[in-house]
Chain A
Amino acid sequence: MSKNTVSDRFRKVDVDEYDENKFVDEEDGGENQLGPDEAEVDSLIRSGNLMGALQAVLKNPPINTKNQNVKEQTEGLVLKVLSSFKTSDLEKAVQSLDKTGVDLLMKYIYRGFERPSDNSSAILLQWHEKALSAGGVGSIVRVLTARKTV
Chain B
Amino acid sequence: KAEPTKLYYHEVHIYKKDGNNWSKIHVLKEHNGQVTGIDWAPESNRIVTCGTDRNAYVWTLKGDAWKPTLVILRINRAARCVKWSPKENKFAVGSGSRLISVCYFEQDNDWWVCKHIKKPIRSTILCLDWHPNNILLAAGSCDFKYCPLIFISKEVEEKPAPTAWGSKMPFGEVMFESTGTSGWAHSVCFSDSGNRVAWASHDSTVAVAEGGKTAVCASLTSETLPLLCVTFITENSLVAAGHDCYPVLFVYDSNKAAMSFGGKLDVPKQSAQKGMTARERFQNLDKKATADSKEAVLESVHKNSISQISILNGGKAQCAKFCTTGMDGGMAIWDVKTLESAMKDLKIV
Question: Do A and B bind?
Answer: yes
Q: Are B202 and A145 in contact (CB under 8 A)?
A: yes
Q: Are B183 and A23 in contact (CB under 8 A)?
A: no
Interface bits B92-130 vs A (CB < 8 Å: 1, else 0)? 000000100000000000000000000000110000000
Q: B177 interface residue, CB < 8 Å from A?
A: no
Q: Are B202 and A139 in contact (CB under 8 A)?
A: no
Measured CA separation A23–B222 after assembly (Å): 30
Expressed in whole angstroms, the minimum distance between the Cβ of B74 and any Cβ of chain A is 15
Output the nearest chain B residue to A133 by Cβ-Cβ distance.
B223
Q: Which of B98, B145, B183, B203 has the most CB of A within 10 A?
A: B203
Contacts of B205 in A (CB 8 A): 142
Chain A, interface size: which category? 10 to 19
Q: Which of B122, B144, B203 contacts A142 (CB 8 A)?
A: B203
Q: Which of A21, A138, A147, A148 has the most CB of B within 10 A?
A: A138
Q: Are B123 and A23 in contact (CB under 8 A)?
A: yes
Q: A62 interface residue, CB < 8 Å from B?
A: no
Q: B308 interface residue, CB < 8 Å from A?
A: no
Contacts of B204 in A (CB 8 A): 137-139, 141-142
Q: DSSP majority for the A interface?
A: helix
Q: Are A138 and B224 in contact (CB under 8 A)?
A: yes
Expressed in whole angstroms, the minimum distance between the Cβ of B78 and any Cβ of chain A is 16
Q: B221 interface residue, CB < 8 Å from A?
A: yes
Expressed in whole angstroms, the minimum distance between the Cβ of B313 and any Cβ of chain A is 31
Q: Are B223 and A139 in contact (CB under 8 A)?
A: yes
Q: Are B221 and A103 in contact (CB under 8 A)?
A: yes
Q: A135 interface residue, CB < 8 Å from B?
A: yes
Output the nearest chain B residue to A24 by Cβ-Cβ distance.
B122
Q: Which A residues from 114 to 150 make CB contacts under 8 A with B? A: 135-139, 141-142, 145-148
Expressed in whole angstroms, the minimum distance between the Cβ of A97 and any Cβ of chain B is 13
Output the nearest chain A residue to B244 by Cβ-Cβ distance.
A137
Q: Are B203 and A141 in contact (CB under 8 A)?
A: yes
Chain B, interface size: which category? 10 to 19
Q: Are B182 and A137 in contact (CB under 8 A)?
A: no
Q: Are A145 and B222 in contact (CB under 8 A)?
A: no
Q: Are B223 and A136 in contact (CB under 8 A)?
A: yes
Q: B326 interface residue, CB < 8 Å from A?
A: no
Expressed in whole angstroms, the minimum distance between the Cβ of B111 and any Cβ of chain A is 28
Q: Which B residues from 222 to 253 make CB contacts under 8 A with A? A: 222-226
Expressed in whole angstroms, the minimum distance between the Cβ of B300 and any Cβ of chain A is 16
Q: Are A141 and B202 in contact (CB under 8 A)?
A: yes
Q: Are B122 and A145 in contact (CB under 8 A)?
A: no
Contacts of B226 in A (CB 8 A): 141
Expressed in whole angstroms, the minimum distance between the Cβ of B272 and any Cβ of chain A is 29
Contacts of B144 in A (CB 8 A): 147
Contacts of A138 in B (CB 8 A): 204, 221-225
Interface bits A33-73 vs B (CB < 8 Å: 1, else 0)? 00000000000000000000000000000000000000000
Measured CA separation A23–B144 after assembly (Å): 12
Measured CA separation A138–B226 after assembly (Å): 7
Q: Which of A21, A23, A139, A142 has the most CB of B within 10 A?
A: A142
Q: Are B98 and A21 in contact (CB under 8 A)?
A: yes
Q: Are A145 and B183 in contact (CB under 8 A)?
A: yes
Contacts of B223 in A (CB 8 A): 135-139
Q: Which of B98, B122, B203 contacts A146 (CB 8 A)?
A: B203
Measured CA separation A23–B204 after assembly (Å): 25
Q: Which of A103, A136, A141 has the most CB of B within 10 A?
A: A141
Decide: A142 near B98, CB < 8 A? Known: A23-B122, A147-B144. no
Measured CA separation A133–B145 after assembly (Å): 29
Output the nearest chain A residue to B122 by Cβ-Cβ distance.
A23
Contacts of B182 in A (CB 8 A): 142, 145-148
Q: Are A145 and B225 in contact (CB under 8 A)?
A: no
Decide: A136 near B224, CB < 8 A? Known: A145-B182, A145-B202, A147-B182. yes
Expressed in whole angstroms, the minimum distance between the Cβ of A45 and any Cβ of chain B is 29
- Supply 12 A–B pairs (Cβ within 8 Å), ascending by A: A23-B123, A103-B221, A137-B204, A138-B221, A138-B222, A138-B223, A139-B223, A141-B203, A142-B183, A145-B203, A146-B182, A148-B182
Q: Which 7 A-B pairs have the closest CB atoms?
A: A136-B223, A138-B204, A145-B183, A138-B223, A145-B203, A141-B204, A142-B203
Known: A139-B221, A142-B183. 8 other contacts (CB 8 A): A23-B122, A136-B224, A137-B224, A138-B204, A141-B202, A141-B225, A145-B183, A145-B202
